[in-house]
Amino acid sequence: MSDTLLSVEDLWVRFPTRSGTVDAVRGISFSVGRERVGIVGESGSGKSMTGRSILRLIRSPGQMEAKSIMFNGENLLDYSERQMRKIRGHQISMVMQDPKFSLNPVHTVGKQICEALRLHTKASRREARQGALEMLEAVQIRNPERVFDSYPHELSGGMGQRVMIAMMLITDPKLLIADEPTSALDVTVQMKVLAIMDKLVQERGMGLIFISHDLNLVSSFCDRIIIMYAGRIVETCKASELHNATHPYTRGLLNALPRIEEPKGRLEALQRQDSWKQEASVDARV
Amino acid sequence: MPGSDSAVMERKPWVAEATKDARLEIKDLNVYFGEGADRFQAVKNVSVKVQQGGSFGIVGESGSGKSTVLRAVCGLVESWDGEIDIDGAPVSHKRDKAFARKIQMVFQDPYASLHPRHTVDRVLSEPLKLHGFDDVDGRVLRALDDVGLGADFRFRYPHQLSGGQRQRVAVARALMLEPEILLLDEPTSALDVSVQAEILNLFADLRKEHNLTYVMVTHDLAVVAHMCDEIAVMQHGEVVEVMDVEAMRSSTPETAYTQELLKASMGYDAEFFGDS
Amino acid sequence: MTTAPVKSNVPDRAGLKAWLSSDAPTSRGHARAVQFYMGWMKLYENKLAFLGFLIILSLVLMAIFAPLLATTEPNAQDLAKRLTAPGVDGHLLGTDELGRDIWSRLVYGSRITLLIVGIVAFTAPVFGLLIGTVAGYLGGWVDQALMRLVDIFLAFPKLILALAFVAALGAGIESAIIAISLTAWPPYARIARAETLTIRNADYISAVRLQGAGVMHIIVGHVWPLCLSSIIVRVTLDMAGIILTAAGLGFLGLGAQPPEPEWGAMISAGRKFILDHWWVAAMPGMAIFIVSLGFNLLGDGLRDILDPKKSQS
């Protein structure tokens, strides 16, 4: 894990509203190597904003600020919008929750994957098609030729998400940001899609940022966990050490989960404390 | 647990046994959508029995027909055949007003189940007025108290409430007519984990206080294991297995599908899912 | 209606703002006041919409205080002073071919305009709302029958249909109002139906059905409040068109009859002198233009204010 891919220092995301500025992310620092990092938090914790701000995809009126976002030794904050476009999808890819909103409904899946490839490489039409078919096979689509020629609405949720992953990985990015990539899927499908993503990320030696609300899932899928609350990192630990977590928020989340194997009469309700919002963010860089 | 195996065996077949204390019994329920060539059978030959005061869970993935069963029971879907008995008496396709005082439902998405232009007060007092209850004010305040909200929330609009608070209002609304059976359609899947814990606790308390019978539909096996005594697993419109919660906890379900579901809800396991 | 158990005590002026922007209203009235105040603040912040609101407000005030604002009787003729230019002899906007003061006629004419606008605004949308929501909610053959009726009405050009009605009912302001109402409702029915289709399967509708509520109860109490905002927006945007249709009927001699100071009829009378005495036609034209603009600005603003998607975020 010595070779750090991405290092973010003191990231803020702010939204001006009628009643003053709202800080969605408040000065967090973290790093990602060639590993699977999970960012966990409840709604409003700023986890999605964190993912988007790495690619500088915060929509107006939101504003982002950071000391530095170092990727491959270069500060992404110094990049122009034009340079950023080359980074997005080529060096850093992002998979969103619902493939229905990320795929263009009027083009075939194959065309969109080829386009993604041709946008960033000099592949010829034939090479692009070949590459796309191989990629579809890599995400374990049984009949790649057929899927290649189908439109997004003809695919099931799990299939759509596999296509998204294929599209995002075909350019061979170094870092993949997956924002709730499987939350819209059924549990059994979810696991299959995760397994595919896991395998590809491992094989290619990529870094993965896995953003999710599901503590259980993240702890079993990732190497390292970052727990966010109200825009701050409250705790970070190895996934295998999660049960030893000390922060009351993390403990509260763990205790609030019903578990199949250990029945509880009552679930422990989380008692939120205002101090959690005030504490300094934990530095999650390694 | 060696004993649970035999418990499962005894329960089979899950075709109705003739017991008197079944509060809700569904026999050979079929539900259809569409007409002609587009006709699609969403629920096939489902038979389940819910004991009085029991808490029955139906789990399954999207498209398994689990929510459709609930909708047929409460009368929101009318294109069904088979038999639905409440306290031993079959219900008809058209439901009358009195039926509303037997069964109520809590919906999945608290952001979609409250009318955006109605205050909490209106939401809660409306069923009372429809059914001519007295002491509307008192009942509304007690209901708010029951679900842990308090009088402060009475005149707020849904957009002034958080997701968990909205779901509490929805629960209060379902309880206004003092029903005996509460149908819960994924009542916590749109909520954060910590809020889910609060709502599940609330359900447990209310069940004790009001002597309610629950039928809960969810895709989350952990929630169903926490809440229910008996669980039916549905796939492609059919019930593939009925088990009690002990069988589920000890991971000894009979069908491969249920086992896969169970495994999947325990978390990611590279060895188990990686080589599929 | 029952009364609130917690007495809401309206505090002094300093606390009034806080009371009006409260997150936890203490009574039904309070909740409504807060909603209203929030809407008002949004209108106030939207400068163009607020300008539109001010224009409409002045139109209303003008109609109410017409006797005070008018300098002469609207129908008082003075042939010696016919076609006086604006500003001469105390005639602010000049006089027409019979020596009547145009300003005074415009002021009194605002009453007629408001009457037409008011009656049409309260009949056509309500009728359209009823037809549209019933069709959308019930679906099936009811929907088919009602919407084909709407199609038939929509197939005629508005002014031609109004002309036919007026011809059948006889010329006059009442006929014009009826004719405009009859031609104006179909678009509202369309909007209301489309809106109803999106909400009829919502969970909150299912919930009230489960409580045993009847069809009309659901339509009026639950579907209408949600259709209302798009209808109101459409009405304000249509107002300009309604004023123009009324003016058009007046212009063709089928609306208000002389000597009533209806703006469209005034333009019609002035067109004979438009080259030499432009103000006779131009002044009522300006009045129609300003009021139409006012309604359009307000309607655009209301679209933002009443849109539930925007107000929730």
For chain B, what percent of residues have pLDDT higher than 90?
53
Q: What is the pLDDT of residues B153-189, one digit of tens each?
A: 999 888 888 889 999 999 999 999 999 999 999 999 8
Same domain, A192 and A122: no
Q: Which of B100, B109, B170 shows the shortest C-beta gap to C211?
A: B100
Give the distance from CA C285 to its chain's centroid.
19
For chain B, what percent of residues have pLDDT higher than 70?
92
- Inter-chain residue contact B130 with C26, CB threshold 8 Å: no
Same domain, A243 and A256: yes
Same domain, A87 and A191: yes
Task: Name residue, tokens 């188990």.
Answer: B272
What distance in Å separates residue A191's CA from the closest CA in chain B? 6
Same domain, B28 and B157: no
Give me the pLDDT at residue C312, please: 41
Task: Name residue, tokens 């939204």.
Answer: A15
Phi then psi dihedrals of residue B215, to 5 deg: -125, 115
Domain residues for the domain of A77 are: 1-91+177-197+206-286
Contact C46, B191 (CB under 8 A): no
C-alpha to C-alpha distances, C235 to A3, A75, B118, C295, nearest whole angstrom = 64, 54, 23, 9
- Inter-chain residue contact B193 with A253, CB threshold 8 Å: yes
Contact B251, A172 (CB under 8 A): no
Same domain, A105 and A219: no
Same domain, B88 and B212: yes
Number of domains in chain A: 2
Q: Is B27 on the interface with C (CB under 8 A)?
A: no
- Enclosing H/E stretch for C196: helix C173-199
Structural tokens at position A23:
């800080």
Contact C134, C195 (CB under 8 A): no
Is A106 strand, coil or helix?
A: coil
Same domain, B245 and B207: yes
B63 domain residue, yes or no? yes
Is the predicted pLDDT of residue A10 greater than 50, yes or no?
A: yes
Q: Is C201 on the interface with B (CB under 8 A)?
A: no
Give me the pLDDT at residue B36, please: 80
Same domain, B147 and B200: no
Give me the pLDDT at residue B179, please: 94
For B81-95, B231-245, C40-54, C160-174, which range has the lowest pLDDT when averaged over its residues?
C160-174
Same domain, A161 and A41: no
The contact set of A with B (CB < 8 A) is 42-43, 140, 157, 186-192, 194-195, 198-199, 213, 215-217, 219-221, 252-253, 255-261, 263-264, 266-270, 272
Give me the pLDDT at residue B274, please: 63
Q: Which residues contact B258 (CB under 8 A, 6 or more apart)?
A: B233, B240, B241, B243
Contact C280, C86 (CB under 8 A): no
Same domain, B76 and B205: yes
What distance in Å separates residue C169's CA from the closest CA in chain B? 41
Q: What is the mean pLDDT of residues B20-34?
A: 87
CATH of the domain at A14: 3.40.50.300
Same domain, A9 and A151: no
C222 → chain B, closest CA residue = B115
Domain residues for the domain of B247 are: 1-92+181-266
Q: Which of C31, C207, C308 shows the shortest C-beta gap to B113?
A: C207
Give me the pLDDT at residue B5, please: 44
Same domain, A153 and A275: no
Residues of A in contact with B165 (CB under 8 A): none
* Chain B with chain C: Cβ pairs closer than 8 A: 94
B105 domain residue, yes or no? no
How many Cα neighbours within 13 Å face the side chain of C246? 34
CA dihedral C206, C208, C209, C214 (to 10 degrees): -140
How far apart CA B189 and CA A6 sit, in angstroms, is 33
Q: Which of A116, A22, A34, A16 is nearest to A72 (CA)?
A: A34
DSSP string, B195-220: HHHHHHHHHHHHHHHHT-EEEEEES-
For chain A, what percent of residues have pLDDT higher than 90?
41
Is the predicted pLDDT of residue B7 greater than 70, yes or no?
A: no
Which residues are registered as beta bridge partners of C101? C95
Q: Which of C5, C211, C225 shows the shortest C-beta gap to B117?
A: C225
Give the residue ranges of chain C where pLDDT is below 70. Answer: 1-14, 307-313
Sheet holding B22-33, edge to edge: B40-51, B22-33, B80-86, B89-90
Same domain, B84 and B27: yes
Same domain, A84 and A4: yes
Residue A14 DSSP label: E
Same domain, A168 and A183: no
Q: How many CB atoms lie within 10 A of CB B102?
A: 18
How far apart CA A15 and CA A62 sit, in angstroms, is 5
Give me the pLDDT at residue B14, please: 42
B272 domain residue, yes or no? no
Q: Which is it for the CA torsion C108, C109, C113, C119, positive or negative?
A: positive
How far apart CA A96 and CA A179 sit, in angstroms, is 5
Q: Which residues contact C139 (CB under 8 A, 6 or more apart)?
A: C200
Same domain, A120 and A137: yes
Same domain, A87 and A147: no
Structural tokens at position A1:
């894990």
pLDDT band for position B20 (cuts 50, 70, 90): low
Same domain, A193 and A283: yes
Contact B104, B73 (CB under 8 A): no
Mutation target vs C (from B144, B154, B155, B173; most C CBs, 10 A cutoff): B155
Q: Which residues contact A160 (CB under 8 A, 6 or more apart)?
A: A99, A100, A103, A152
Contact A226, A40 (CB under 8 A): yes
Which residues are registered as beta bridge partners of B233? B59, B241
B73 → chain C, closest CA residue = C210
Strand ranges (DSSP E) for A33-138?
36-40, 63-65, 68-71, 74-75, 92-95
Q: Answer with the one of A172, A189, A224 that is the final residue of a domain.
A: A172
Q: Which of C77, C102, C75 is nearest to C88 (CA)?
A: C102
Residues of A in contact with B200 (CB under 8 A): 258, 267
Give me the pLDDT at residue B214, please: 95
- Enclosing H/E stretch for B32: strand B22-33
C-alpha to C-alpha distances, A39 to A64, A69, A191, B13, C280, nearest whole angstrom = 19, 17, 18, 45, 73
Same domain, B137 and B28: no
Give me the pLDDT at residue C80, please: 84
Q: Which of A74, A107, A52 is nearest to A5 (CA)?
A: A74
Q: Answer with the one of B128, B146, B178 that is the final residue of a domain.
A: B178
Residues of B in contact with C23 (CB under 8 A): 156, 160
Contact B75, B95 (CB under 8 A): yes
Is the predicted pLDDT of residue B12 greater than 70, yes or no?
A: no
Is the predicted pLDDT of residue A259 greater than 50, yes or no?
A: yes
B160 domain residue, yes or no? yes
Q: Which of B225, B163, B172, B217 is nearest to B195 (CA)?
A: B163
Give me the pLDDT at residue C144, please: 95
Structural tokens at position C307:
């849109």
- Inter-chain residue contact B193 with A269, CB threshold 8 Å: no
Which residues are registered as beta bridge partners of A75? A70
How far apart CA B124 and CA C31 sit, in angstroms, is 15
Give me the pLDDT at residue C104, please: 92
Q: Which residues contact A66 (CB under 8 A, 6 or more apart)?
A: A8, A9, A10, A11, A12, A53, A77
Which residues are registered as beta bridge partners of A250? none
What distance in Å separates residue B135's CA from the closest CA in chain C? 10
Is C278 strand, coil or helix?
A: coil
Number of domains in chain B: 2
Give me the pLDDT at residue C307, please: 64
Contact A217, B268 (CB under 8 A): yes
Q: What is the mean pLDDT of residues B269-275?
A: 70
- Inter-chain residue contact B197 with A256, CB threshold 8 Å: yes
How far apart CA C29 and CA B155 sit, in angstroms, is 9
Q: Which residues contact A230 (CB under 8 A, 6 or more apart)?
A: A26, A44, A45, A46, A276, A277
- Report whether CATH 3.40.50.300 matches the domain C41-66+101-312: no
Give me the pLDDT at residue C7, please: 45
How would you label C128-152 residue by residue, b for 16+ Cβ within 10 Å and e otherwise?
Answer: bbbbbbbbbbeeeeebeebbeebee
Which residues are registered as beta bridge partners of A71? A6, A74
- Classify C47 in phi/psi space as left (phi over 0), alpha (psi -120 to 50) or beta: alpha
Q: Which residues contact A202 (CB under 8 A, 6 or more apart)?
A: none
DSSP string, B122-171: HHHHHHHHHTT-S-HHHHHHHHHHHTT--GGGTT--GGGS-HHHHHHHHH
Q: Answer with the one of B127, B148, B178 that is the final residue of a domain.
A: B178
Same domain, B158 and B211: no
Give me the pLDDT at residue B1, please: 41
CATH of the domain at B14: 3.40.50.300
Same domain, B66 and B116: no
Same domain, B174 and B185: no
Q: What is the pLDDT of residues A18-50, one digit of tens each?
A: 777 889 999 999 999 999 999 999 888 999 999
Contact A7, A68 (CB under 8 A): yes
How far apart CA A229 and CA A225 sit, in angstroms, is 13
Is the predicted pLDDT of residue A246 greater than 50, yes or no?
A: yes
Q: Which of A100, A103, A122 is nearest to A111 (CA)?
A: A103
Structural tokens at position B57:
């869970």
Strand ranges (DSSP E) for A181-282?
207-212, 224-229, 232-238
Give me the pLDDT at residue B15, please: 42
Give me the pLDDT at residue C13, please: 67
B13 domain residue, yes or no? yes
Give me the pLDDT at residue A280, please: 83
Against chain A, the chains showing at least 3 CB pairs within 8 Å are: B
Give me the pLDDT at residue C12, please: 63
Same domain, B77 and B34: yes
Same domain, B18 and B74: yes
Burial grade of B39 (CB within 10 A; 0-12, 13-18, 19 or more)? exposed
**Terminal-residue alpha carbon distance, chain A:** 8
